[in-house]
Amino acid sequence: MKNLKISLSIIVAICLFAIGFTGCSTQKTIDSMVIGTTMDIQSISRSDYYYNVLSGTLTHLALVRLDENNEIQPMMAEYSTADNGKTWTFVLKDGLKWDDGEKVTAEDVKFTIEYLDKMENAGRMDKLEAINIVNDQTIQLVYKTANIRALNDLTTLRIIPKHIFENVTDYAGFKDDAAAIGCGPYKFVRFDADAGVLEFEANPDYIGGKPNIKTINVKLFKNTDTMYMALKAEEIGMVYFYAGGIDPSAAADLKSSGNITLTEVQDTSNPLVLIFNNEKTPVNSLPVRQAIAKGIDYEKCRELFGSEYSIPSNYGFIPKSNEGYIDTAALKLDIDGAKKILSDAGAIDSNGDGILEINGTPLDLEILVRTDKPVYARVGELLQSNLKAIGINVILNSVDVPTFRSMTETEHTDVSMLSRFTSFGMNMGAGMSTSYLDGRLKSNAQGQIMDPAFASIVDKLKAATTMAEYDQAAKECQEYYAGSVPAIALYWDVYLQAYNSKYDNFTIDGTFGIVNQQTWYSISQK
Amino acid sequence: MSDITKKIISSILCLAAIIIINFFLPRLMPGDPVLMLTGQNEESISAAQYQSFEEKLGINYPVSIQFKNYLVNLFSGDLGYSYHYNDTVANLMKNRIPNTLQLAIPSILLASILGMFLGCTMGYTKKQRLDKSVTTAFIIINAIPSFLLAMVIVTFFAFKLRLFPLGGLNSIVVPHHAILAFGDRIKHLILPISTIVLLSLPPKYMMVRNTVKSATKEKYVLYAKARGISSFRIKFVHIFKNVCPPFITLVGLNLAFVISGSMITEIIFSINGMGELLYEAAIYRDFPTLQGCFFIISIIVILANILTDITCVMVDPKQRFGFYESN
């Protein structure tokens, strides 16, 4: 009897331990997950911008990637450099295969660079002196000049299979399933336009092993409100938008639902900027730009448009967490300071209408906004009321997307505009947002800075052969921004990413946020 | 010449006018017709691309040859090429028209039947309080912006009560069995259709209700009552026959509205339809798609007009009699 009692006690103890253990455990293999997005995906063509982005998180690999600290890490290939960054050698990882079974080779990498240059005007070939294939798995990129930041550019170069694309002349129109063949941890399965669903399944042959989620469905929504309802109703597991999080105004509601976790991803982009066309009157005048910088109510801006984690920005323009960041003076509302600057510059209100004039010309500031982003119009209205207090008349000009792009990126007929600078865009070219601001560039370059002093700094950034040299030039660049105020960051923020609380262990990536190829191996379900 | 023949001739003339306007509009607008027809801008297009577009569009030919080519293309179903979507406009529409029709046809039928039934009932009823309540409700619904109405419906029925899905035309995993797949589609269609029905019902209801109300004072209604004919028959046979022609015309005109005006519903319910296509094309200044959509919608309006005229002749004895007499 005693033995029976002991045996029973042991069995009960084992059972309780087992129950407790399984109760606390997390499930590593997840059958399926639905990601909701409002990214406008029309087809699986490689030229479909958002599909291309999405493929970079699931089916396609780049040579290298950015980790959560914005450090470069190997992805498809190990890398090394010689000649102070002039020659970069990449050795492809063993066992990489395309979804159709073909081996991934150095030829595919060479083909991708050349092909995309032709099809997308990617502009990489202009910087390259040669592309040498050393062997089946090794490729060398020889730049014309030392390029210490070459790897940053390669984080978004998603390698495509040569054997599929070499005969494709209609790159944009190629929407066949073969267009989705990649070599990443997931394989493309289908695009159901009626359901608005893209389906991907785990790739059993991927060199990193099988990811934790067997099937990923990406559900396309055309409006965010319904998508947030679907998240709350647990119809989808998470929401995602490339280079942007959830709408900060929806954060409190999502948080209060009880089944949603919001996580912060450090935003290395500028989520809301006022960019001056530095060649246009009246913002070609330094005192006017300085006065505008002092006339904006940044606190109100953060309160109305930023998330609860937003932080004040500074005159140096480049957000914290970016390579080479230095502290500069914080941007603050200072109406008296703004008025003094304008008064010292000779601005007077001769007709008593409340708007100042310089040399008889009223201080009218046209701000261009896009019709498809109504939030910018609201920001514009706030600036209108802020700047009226210092005697500047803001005229809001709301235009459609093509007109906006044409005016700001090619014709440069705008005076100023409200927009955002993505992290990727800010790191393009010489980095430090110079691709948005350097007036020597043919396209984009909304800031139109033609100042030789700035051009010299940009050249220093480009010529840097070590990171120490680059950081020194980056410091000069931020000091230039602080002194010259060519653009104003209205605040800095984090991305808020929302997902169902049953999921855990997401990995953060400097390019894609929490939806990235590392997440598929770390994610678990409670 | 009969009224119907006259109608058909005027419709053909109308179609010809639309074709001419569609052809000349991008060519007469200020700016470069190549850029207009491709949606590109001068700075971002290379000389080689420009030349390639010029050749593809045949802009370098004389206008008469361009027009002839345009007609040939049009009648062979070529509505142009969208450089925004990188697809032919015909293809874009081919994928979306069926989705929109799945919303439009049941919506029009339901809204028409409900409008007719409720309009006749409330117009004929002596219960003033009921009539006033229903009419006031429809006036309020008519005043609610379409996006708000759609959001209220989706929030209440899909999110709060979880009775219907939040969007799309079918579930992520469509059931394999045909009947289950059909059921899944119906479940997805109920809310968007209800939204469109609610949006298009008030004008129909008001028209029928007001016409029936005034008809109740007519002598033929009095005689019908005196003969002991049932209220149902008086409402739906005697009075409705007189209400029919303007009602059918209203329904016919509503077809084009439902096809293009389902935009908000399609966006809220994330449905890939014609309304959503028009919305995107307008945002991205995709002229070829806009032209193609307007052309097809114009044809639908013309056909709907002809169809409504023929239907009016068939249901209205006065018109039918006149029609036969003139023959």
Indicate whether A227 and A353 sit together in one domain.
no
* Residues of chain B found within 8 Å of residue A40, distances taken between Cβ atoms: 280
- Assess whether pLDDT exceeds 80 at residue B29: no
Indicate whether A246 and A317 sit together in one domain.
no
Q: Which domain holds residue A281?
A: 270-492
Q: How many domains does chain A have?
A: 3
CA torsion, ordered A362, A368, A371, A375, to nearest 10 deg: -90
| Cα separation, A395 vs A384, whole angstroms | 7
Q: Is A42 on the interface with B (CB under 8 A)?
A: yes
Find the CATH number of the domain harbouring A371.
Answer: 3.10.105.10
pLDDT digits (tens, 9 = 90+) for B44-94: 566 666 777 777 777 778 888 888 888 888 888 888 888 888 888 999 999
Q: Which of B40, B43, B153 to mutate to test the interface with A (most CBs of A within 10 A)?
A: B43
pTM of the entire structure? 0.81
B168–A410 C-beta distance less than 8 A: no
- Say if residues B96 and B274 touch (Cβ distance below 8 Å): yes
Residue A451 lies in a domain: yes
Residue A27 lies in a domain: yes
Indicate whether A167 and A207 sit together in one domain.
no
**Which member of A194, A229, A406 has the closest CB to residue B169?**
A194
Indicate whether A248 and A308 sit together in one domain.
no
**Smallest Cα distance from B292 to chain A, Å:** 18
C-alpha distances (whole Å) from B100 to each of A363, B104, B178, B263 are 50, 6, 21, 10
- Assess whether pLDDT exceeds 80 at residue B38: no
* Residues of chain A found within 8 Å of residue B280, distances taken between Cβ atoms: 40
Count Cβ neighbours within 10 Å for each residue of A339-368 and write b for 16 or more, e otherwise: bebbeebebeeeeeeebbbbeeebbebbbb
Find the CATH number of the domain harbouring A262.
Answer: 3.40.190.10
Find the CATH number of the domain harbouring A99.
Answer: 3.90.76.10
* Residues of chain A found within 8 Å of residue B53, distances taken between Cβ atoms: none
Q: Is A226 on the interface with B (CB under 8 A)?
A: yes
**Smallest Cα distance from B114 to chain A, Å:** 29
Q: A 269-328 residues with CB below 8 A of B?
A: none
Task: Give the 3-state secondary structure of residue A389.
Answer: coil
* Residues of chain B found within 8 Å of residue A221, distances taken between Cβ atoms: 167, 270
Per-residue confidence (pLDDT) for residue A23, from 0 to 100: 44
Q: Is A12 on the interface with B (CB under 8 A)?
A: no
**Which member of B39, B167, B276 has the closest CB to residue A226?**
B167
| Cα separation, A225 vs B159, whole angstroms | 11
**Which member of A193, A196, A225 has the closest CB to residue B95?**
A193
Per-residue confidence (pLDDT) for residue A14, from 0 to 100: 54
Per-residue confidence (pLDDT) for residue A490, from 0 to 100: 96
Task: Please give the backbone phi and psi of residue A275, each rounded to the nearest 5 degrees, phi first.
Answer: -105, 130
Indicate whether A82 and A106 sit together in one domain.
yes
Indicate whether A429 and A511 sit together in one domain.
no
pLDDT higher at A291 or B246:
A291
| A214 token code pair | 């067997």
Residue A278 lies in a domain: yes
| Cα separation, B199 vs B106, whole angstroms | 13
**Which member of B159, B267, B272 has the closest CB to residue A233?**
B159
pLDDT digits (tens, 9 = 90+) for B117-137: 999 999 998 888 999 999 999
DSSP characters for A58-87? HT--BSEEEBTTS-EEESSEEEEEEGGGTE
Indicate whether A487 and A500 sit together in one domain.
no
Per-residue confidence (pLDDT) for residue A5, from 0 to 100: 60
* Residues of chain B found within 8 Å of residue A172, distances taken between Cβ atoms: 86
Q: Is A398 on the interface with B (CB under 8 A)?
A: no
B155–A229 C-beta distance less than 8 A: yes
Per-residue confidence (pLDDT) for residue B42, from 0 to 100: 58
User: A196 to chain B: nearest residue by CA?
Assistant: B168
A183, A203, A232 - which closes a domain:
A183
Q: How confident is the model at residue B327 (pLDDT cuts 50, 70, 90)?
A: very low
**Which member of B39, B168, B282 has the closest CB to residue A196?**
B168
Q: Is B87 on the interface with A (CB under 8 A)?
A: yes
- Say if residues A67 and A51 touch (Cβ distance below 8 Å): no
A371–B272 C-beta distance less than 8 A: no
Residue A45 lies in a domain: no
Q: B 246-275 residues with CB below 8 A of A?
A: 266-272
Q: Which residue type, as a one-letter code, is found at position A466? A: T
Residue A46 lies in a domain: no
Angle between helices A374-388 and A286-295 (to 10 degrees): 100
Q: Which of A44, A45, A120, A194 to mutate to test the interface with B (most CBs of B within 10 A)?
A: A194
B86–A193 C-beta distance less than 8 A: no
**Smallest Cα distance from A34 to chain B, Å:** 9
Beta A77-82 vs A87-92: how paired, if at all?
Answer: antiparallel
Q: Is A176 on the interface with B (CB under 8 A)?
A: no
**Smallest Cα distance from B192 to chain A, Å:** 13
Indicate whether A280 and A382 sit together in one domain.
yes
Indicate whether A352 and A472 sit together in one domain.
yes
Indicate whether A197 and A295 sit together in one domain.
no
> Could you tell me which of A105, A233, A84 has the C-alpha nearest to residue A161?
A105
Q: Is B174 on the interface with A (CB under 8 A)?
A: yes
* Residues of chain B found within 8 Å of residue A197, distances taken between Cβ atoms: 168, 172
- Assess whether pLDDT exceeds 70 at residue B184: yes
Residue A129 lies in a domain: yes
Indicate whether A290 and A368 sit together in one domain.
yes
- State percent of chain B over pLDDT 70: 90
CB pairs A-B closer than 8 Å:
96
* Residues of chain B found within 8 Å of residue A196, distances taken between Cβ atoms: 167-168, 270, 272
**Smallest Cα distance from B43 to chain A, Å:** 6
Q: Which of B172, B188, B271, B290 to mutate to test the interface with A (most CBs of A within 10 A)?
A: B172
Indicate whether A121 and A258 sit together in one domain.
no
B41–A43 C-beta distance less than 8 A: no
* Residues of chain A found within 8 Å of residue B283, distances taken between Cβ atoms: 371-372, 400-401
| A9 token code pair | 């006690």
* Residues of chain B found within 8 Å of residue A222, distances taken between Cβ atoms: 167, 266-268, 270-271, 276
pLDDT in tens, chain A (526 residues): 555 566 556 655 554 444 444 444 566 789 999 999 999 898 999 989 899 999 999 999 999 988 877 788 999 999 998 877 889 999 999 999 999 999 999 999 999 999 998 887 767 888 899 999 999 999 999 998 887 888 888 888 999 999 999 999 988 889 999 999 999 999 999 998 878 899 999 999 899 899 999 999 999 999 899 999 999 999 999 999 987 788 888 888 999 999 999 988 877 788 899 999 999 999 999 999 999 999 999 999 999 998 888 899 999 999 987 888 999 999 999 999 999 999 999 999 998 999 999 998 999 999 999 888 888 999 999 999 999 999 999 999 998 877 888 888 888 889 999 998 887 788 877 889 998 999 988 667 889 999 999 999 999 998 888 888 899 999 999 999 999 999 999 999 888 899 999 999 999 876 788 899 999 999 999 8
Task: Please give the backbone phi and psi of residue B59, each rounded to the nearest 5 degrees, phi first.
Answer: -65, -25
The residues pairing with B299 across neighbouring beta strands, listed in sequence order, are none
Q: How confident is the model at residue B320 (pLDDT cuts 50, 70, 90)?
A: low
Count Cβ neighbours within 10 Å for each residue of B182-210 and write b for 16 or more, e otherwise: eebeeebbbbbbbbbbbbbbbbbbbbbbe
Residue A49 lies in a domain: no
Residue A73 lies in a domain: yes
Q: Is B210 on the interface with A (CB under 8 A)?
A: no
* Residues of chain B found within 8 Å of residue A217, distances taken between Cβ atoms: 172
